[in-house]
Amino acid sequence: MIVVNYHDDLNEVQGDAATAALLTAPYATAPFDRIEWWRNLAETCAMTPMIVISSDGLDRAILPLMRQRRALVGFQNWYSFRLTPLISKASRRAELLEEMASALACEAPRITLDRLSGEDAQDLASAFRVAGWSVWQAPSDTNHILNVGGSDYASFLAARPGQLRSTLKRKSGKLDVELFRTYDAHAYASYEQIYADSWKPEEGSAAFLQRFAQEEGAAGRLRMAIGSVDGSPVAAQFWTVENGTAFIHKLAHRNDAKALSPGTTLSAALFEEVIDRDRVSMVDFGTGDDAYKRDWMDDVRIRYRLDMLRPQWPGNWPIIALYALRRATQRG
């Protein structure tokens, strides 16, 4: 018998052995799947989780949500690359998700999930439709990735666009690069100052990001690079490595250092580090379709948004009518 429970206390989630196991490799394959990430969201961003767990014996399906007025949305923030349901047994994926979707009808009239992979969007959409929800799916973002395979850094670099290789050859000697595989307070302070002096918008949550860097550094997953000119830091990048994938979280350089192409130099140093030393099989550049990502990445994955509405709820009728009109217009 499948039972669906809800938890706003992450200690309860971690206290169940079968659930805790699902929040580690090989099921959890990215920082966004782990309870440390969720705890960071809760404690530094004042976000209250609603972790939904569909269980039958030792089988589990977990979907991290949170309340947003009357609705439910994914338990994630601007630093999350994607949202995914965690499933202990693939053969039970459909029924565990369908039971979850059915139970959630009593919790909210609307559920919106974003940054879903194509497979997850398809499976969740199917489960919610079976449970009687009206489901609307649309592309919402792009995710640039590099499938490294068994290549070494030299082969990877040789396959990059000629302009990038030319820039790297001309500019790399003008920047002193220091790499960090553990958290270094001085280096992180340099990153924060560089970011503040860059073209980037203000951090959504500096406290969240610093805690994440500290935890990843303690676990040996942090990869940070600082680029300096005459001893003065001008560029920084913040990556992590986990389960064979390197995740590019943050990069910035001072506006007055743009002519040195410091981002290209630091990226090259970190690509060499994760490909030749960490032997990763993939590099994930997160969301966003920035032009510079195409120089380093070979593939693009679409991320999807699902909007699930209970048709019995009168407040949803205008939204359902609008979606139906859009669909009819597109078909026309």
pLDDT, one tens digit per residue, over 81-120 is 999 999 999 999 999 999 999 999 999 999 999 999 999 9
175 & 273 share domain: yes
Q: Residue 14 has what pLDDT?
A: 92
12 & 108 share domain: yes
Domain assignment present for residue 293? The answer is no
- First-to-last alpha carbon distance for the chain, in angstroms, is 45
Over residues 70-88, the mean pLDDT reads 96
Domain assignment present for residue 181? The answer is yes
Domain assignment present for residue 294? The answer is no
120 & 15 share domain: yes
- CATH number for the domain that contains residue 223: 3.40.630.30
Domain assignment present for residue 292? The answer is no
Over residues 170-196, the mean pLDDT reads 94
Q: How many domains does the chain have?
A: 2
Please give the mean pLDDT across all residues of the chain.
95
Write 272-277 long-range contacts (CB < 8 A, 24+): 272/153, 273/179, 273/223, 274/223, 274/239, 274/241, 274/246, 275/148, 275/151, 275/152, 275/153, 275/156, 276/152, 276/153
Q: Residue 201 has what pLDDT?
A: 86
Domain that holds residue 199: 149-280
127 & 189 share domain: no
Domain assignment present for residue 137? The answer is yes
- Write out the E strands in 150-230: 176-180, 222-229
Sign of CA dihedral 213, 216, 217, 223: negative
Q: Over 80: is that where the pLDDT of 332 sits?
A: no
pLDDT > 90: percent of the chain? 90
pLDDT band at 328 (very low <50, low <70, confident <90, very high): confident
23 & 130 share domain: yes
- CATH number for the domain that contains residue 51: 3.40.630
Q: Residue 331 has what pLDDT?
A: 77
Q: Which helix (H) or strand (E) holds 30?
A: none
Q: Residue 320 has what pLDDT?
A: 93
254 & 207 share domain: yes
Write the pLDDT tens digit of every residue in 147-166: 998 899 999 999 999 999 99
Between 75 and 199, name the one with better pLDDT: 75
